[in-house]
Chain A
Amino acid sequence: MEPFERYRDVVDDYDAFLAACERGLPMAVRVNTLRATPDEVVAAFEAEGVDVERVDWHPHVLVPDTDSPGSTWPTYHGWAHGQEEVSAIPATVLDPQPGERVWDACAAPGSKTTQLSAMMNDEGTVVANDNNLGRLSALRFNTERLGVTNTVVTNQDARNFSLKPFQDEDEDDEDVAFDRVLVDAPCSCEGTIRKNPDALDNWNLGHVEQVASVQKGILRRAVQVTKPGGTIVYSTCTFAPEENEAVLDHVLAEEPVEVVDYDLPLEHVDGLTEFESDSYDPQVTNAKRVYPHHNDTGGFFTAKLEVTAE
């Protein structure tokens, strides 16, 4: 937990934070509403003798009392998908609508892709991209099992994502721009410590800086391929401000975009305007940090952005 020392002064209750990070995390599932209602999923688990708890902030997130939700009927039938509670935040904030064009820039293994599609009632198009082909096969397995038919899967570096595959001969980039984009960025994963106790083993500041530069490139490209007025959600499962507020600060300076406020019915704190010797654009206070001790979950960072006209 040594890397967390640098957050001693920014986390509201540092001791509670550390204590929460030491605890394991119960398995959660998300209901695939394309196939079943939360009540049906609860009934199916209970029929197998598995008790289910509901979380109060999201009607589709359930915590079944079993170590192997994978070998139950609700999972086999694609009624439920194993997904951490906080992982349901970004798609919920992005709020995609049926019929829209959505880009999931860093999509594998597809937990959020399939959530986006379900929110869109499987109507419209979700382009699910990842630069890692092996992880994309896990994503394909999930879209197939959950019966999601509105996804297109691409294997590109999101930093210079090409829209060519989606264009007819007489179309250009603007014709196929997206209504909404999710950037669930690769990150140093500090917030997954409760799930992966070795998440910090290879932590070093050099890696944080390196991944931050990738994040900036991906978020900039996201702004460029989103329609004016369109919405972007930027999320990570890490605490490092270099990968969160600093990325927003950079993109705010470079691209026509604003960081906007949103409702999050989970305990959280605002994005930081200062860390160590750095300060960030005041808009980043609209971003939200969820710490493990707040709601007894993993850690998470989520910002909502709106693309302005150039």
Chain B
Amino acid sequence: MSENDQLEANDGQQFDRLPETAADREVEGRATREAVLDWWDERFGVDPSVFENHSFWEKGAGKVWVFAGDLPDPTRDVEAAGITFLRTRQEHWKPTTDAAQRFGRHATKNTIVLDDAEAKRFVAGDDQDLEWDGDWGYVVPVHDVAGRQEPLGVGLYVYDELKSMVPKGRQRDV
């Protein structure tokens, strides 16, 4: 509490670059770059060096964006900077489908290999019963496309069920 007394409130209208570490934090509750890199590393085994050329920004409470270009900090009057990446400011952080597709190839754990029929069900937005003995939580289902293990998006695996988190607008009948 006392630490937060000096911190500013989040301004949902502008893009603010995430601070490197908690010691650099100026806005209450804001995720840090260090924590974001740790999270991808711990949950999916994505090496932090994958994000070497990217910066992370918050706009809208908890919405973290990944950006490869150049902008002043803070930035006002722009609609987007890069793509939406991770939902923070909640107990379980959640990656976006687009982030999972963009960076999921680097995942080395908590990926689930689906066959063609399972993959189709997943992108149609359907939940499915599935045996898998990994960690419950957010997962990146992958399937074979032209010889690549390609990430399909984000799933939530709990109670022997794989829930599809593919947003309505991205769901397809392949």
Contact = CB atoms under 8 A, between A and B. Distances in A.
B82 A73 contact: no
Interface residues of B, number: 35
Contacts of A136: 79
Contacts, number: 108
B83 A71 contact: no
Chain A interface category by residue count: 35 or more
Contacts of A41: 146
Interface in B58-96: 66-72, 75-84, 96
A193 B102 CA distance: 36
B145 A44 contact: yes
B53 interface: yes
Interface stretch (B22-30, B131-139, B165-173): B165-173
B68 A123 contact: yes
A151 B83 CA distance: 8
B67 A165 contact: no
Interface in A45-97: 47, 70-79
A295 interface: no
Contacts of A154: 77-79
Given A149-B54, A155-B79, A125 B145 contact: no
A34 to B, nearest CB: 9
Interface in B148-174: 148, 150, 152, 169-170, 172-174
B123 interface: yes
A123 B78 CA distance: 19
Given A44-B146, A150-B69, A153-B78, 18 more contacts: A40-B146, A40-B147, A71-B172, A73-B145, A73-B150, A76-B123, A77-B145, A101-B70, A144-B96, A147-B98, A148-B83, A151-B69, A151-B81, A152-B80, A153-B81, A154-B79, A166-B75, A171-B72
10 contacts: A125-B71, A136-B79, A147-B101, A149-B66, A149-B68, A151-B80, A153-B78, A164-B77, A165-B76, A165-B77
